[in-house]
């Protein structure tokens, strides 16, 4: 079953095209990973339990990272005819 999933993800004509697709996926995950690291850094260094609106800021930070990742993923992996 796992081999079928990999075939669907990497259903490309050449290994170079598959590598480019993998790099695009990794690139599209960067905003989300950076927002997670930013949240970790703020939570461990600057924020404490008494920081006002800490929960709202956390949701805003993580949500913006996820939204940017989604937009980048949609843009980078869109078919040329759909752009």
pLDDT recorded at residue 28: 94
Three-state DSSP at 6 gives helix
Segments making up each domain of the chain, as ranges: 2-82
pTM as predicted: 0.73
pLDDT recorded at residue 16: 85
9-54 pLDDT per residue, tens: 556 667 788 888 889 999 999 999 999 999 999 999 888 888 899 9
Residue burial 61-80, b: 16+ Cβ < 10 Å; e: rest = beeebeebbeebbeeeeeee
């Amino acid at each position: 079953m796992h081999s079928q999933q990999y075939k669907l993800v990497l259903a490309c004509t050449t290994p170079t095209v598959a590598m480019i697709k993998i790099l695009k996926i990794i690139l599209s995950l960067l905003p989300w990973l950076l927002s997670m690291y930013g949240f970790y850094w703020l939570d461990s260094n600057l924020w404490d339990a008494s920081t006002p609106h800490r929960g709202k800021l956390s949701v805003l930070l993580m949500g913006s990272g996820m939204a940017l990742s989604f937009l980048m993923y949609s843009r980078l992996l869109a078919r040329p005819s759909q752009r």
